[in-house]
Amino acid sequence: MASNTNVSLRNVVMYCVYVRNHGVNGNFKDVEEDLERIKCLGTDIIWFMPIHPIGTKNRKGNLGCPYAIKDYREINPEYGTLEDFKRLLNKIHSLGMKSIIDVVYNHTSPDSTLVENHKSFFYKKADGNLGNKVGDWSDIVDLDYNNKDLWDYQIETLKYWITLGVDGFRCDVASLVPLGFWLSAREEVAKINKNTIWLSESVDPSFLLSMRKNGFVGLSDSEIYQAFDIAYDYDVNKEYLGYFSGQNSLKEYIDRVSIQESIYPDNYVKLRFLENHDQPRAKSLIHDEETLKIWTGFLYFQKGCTLLYAGQEAQAVTTPSLFDTDKINWDGIKEDFVELLKTLGVIKKKEIMAKGYYEICTCDDKDVILASYLMKNKKLIGIFNVGKEQGEINLDVADGEYINIIDGTLVEVMQGKLSLKNKIIIFEIQFDK
């Protein structure tokens, strides 16, 4: 991890917006009008999926994929103008939030301004034509970072957006771009804003190995952490999804999460999510309302930065199309679920969740997750009965009554045992000094 990464990023709730599908008009003004509601969810950072013009050549769908970018330094006219975006940034800042934008530096659209003006910046296939290294990404062509002039251009672009008021970057498939570039970019951008936030979309281990097998760059999470503050938890995502499909147990998933504590630097920050724009909606995996709440509690309690994908608060089931207008269905908004998100957002800000010693495991061969943070004479314990198990679990805490800070009810531990409930349990313990 970057040596100067601030562990307070573990206290952060990030909210991802796809402007096209967020509101009625699919523009910046829609998002601006929704900012106060988003803020009230406990949001600290708004991540905008790509805001740039989309190429027309080999376009997918009617409107094209936002990750097939035509010009890194312009605004998608669908969304508004540069002045509209600046006004949106100002409103975000006035509400005490920050913003990051998507940076797609592995590739561009085949008709991008860089293809038109800097063809030497691009990867060429064996036949000499432009192309990409992942065959099915038919609407893009890959860049070639052996060209150091490309480095200069890309870094200047990052500095341009920082100067305009953007607070950081979510870097698409950052693992496919050389580490040296990211290190240089971080150093140069820091000259303008030393607090710039760097989020990497890391990749699934199998995808990483396939890139390396074919002789291409494929950065591991450990390498990514040298330049980035936050990395996706795709290193455990296969086991997370596998639990719901029956391919692996909950214990196998949680054991994988636990390993992160020993293989990454002490100040590592993972992006924790139940869903994102490339993954199934949580509600499509977790149909039961009580169970969804429990998994959501676990999401916030995990060590790392919490991601909400717009529509998650409405328990949306369908992942919006990237290629066409496909508006979020907001009809599923429920007051009790929104209030839960707000409560969890407050808990997320506790210092112990950023600086405490973290442990996680499953309990007594049940589908129950036990996690805790220990800092000085305090301990924060979370119990997540995701399998809606019955009976009791063993719990190594002093017998007595504790307050569940989720709802104010009492949590009773008797003879080292706790009775399971079909709800989130989070409580604090204070030790004698």
What one-character-per-residue DSSP string does 222-273 give? HHHTTT-SEEE-TTTHHHHHHHHHTSS-HHHHHHHHHHHHHHS-TT--EEE-
Q: Please give the helix or strand (H or E) that residue 322 lies within, else none.
A: none
pLDDT at 433: 61
CATH number of the domain enclosing 380: 2.60.40.1180
Residue type, 111: D
pLDDT at 124: 93
Residues 192 and 328 in one domain: yes
**For residue range 112-146, what is the model confidence (pLDDT) as tens digits?**
999 999 999 999 988 999 988 887 788 999 999 99
Show which of 355, 388, 412 is a domain's final residue: 355
Domain count, the chain: 2
Domain membership of residue 2 (yes or no) is no
pLDDT of 1 higher than 50: no
Residues 292 and 182 in one domain: yes
359 to each of 181, 260, 350, 356, 371, how far by Cα in Å?
A: 35, 11, 16, 10, 6
pLDDT of 425 higher than 80: yes
Task: Determine the number of helices (DSSP H) and then strands (DSSP E) in the chain.
Answer: 14, 18
Residues 167 and 265 in one domain: yes
pLDDT of 3 higher than 80: no
Backbone phi, psi, residue 22, to 5°:
-80, -45
pLDDT at 41: 97
Domain membership of residue 207 (yes or no) is yes
CATH number of the domain enclosing 15: 3.20.20.80
Residues 120 and 247 in one domain: yes
Instruction: Report d(CA 21, CA 135) in Å as an integer.
Output: 28
Residues 246 and 375 in one domain: no
Burial letters for 382-396: b for 16+ Cβ neighbours within 10 Å, e otherwise?
Answer: bbbbbbebeebbebe
Instruction: Report d(CA 398, CA 342) in Å as an integer.
Output: 30
Percent of the chain with pLDDT over 90: 93
Residues 351 and 379 in one domain: no
Domain range for 383 is 360-430
**For residue range 359-399, what is the model confidence (pLDDT) as tens digits?**
999 999 999 999 999 999 999 999 999 999 999 999 999 99
Interior CA angle at 318 toward 314 and 319, to 5°? Answer: 100
Q: What's the rounded mean pLDDT across residues 298-312?
A: 98
Show which of 302, 330, 355 is a domain's final residue: 355
Residues 144 and 196 in one domain: yes
Q: What's the rounded mean pLDDT across residues 22-29?
A: 96
Q: What's the rounded mean pLDDT across residues 397-411?
A: 96
Interior CA angle at 140 toward 138 and 143, to 5°? Answer: 135
Domain membership of residue 153 (yes or no) is yes
Domain membership of residue 1 (yes or no) is no
Domain membership of residue 374 (yes or no) is yes
Instruction: Report d(CA 95, CA 164) in Å as an integer.
Output: 18
With 0-12 CB in 10 A as exposed, 13-18 as middle and 19+ as buried, what is 321? middle
Domain membership of residue 53 (yes or no) is yes
Show which of 323, 355, 387 is a domain's final residue: 355
Residues 126 and 144 in one domain: yes
Residues 29 and 137 in one domain: yes
Strands 417-419 and 425-430: unpaired
Residues 232 and 367 in one domain: no
Lowest mean pLDDT among 77-81, 210-214, 257-261: 210-214
Residues 60 and 179 in one domain: yes
Residues 114 and 230 in one domain: yes
Q: What's the rounded mean pLDDT across residues 305-310?
A: 98
Average per-residue pLDDT for the chain: 96
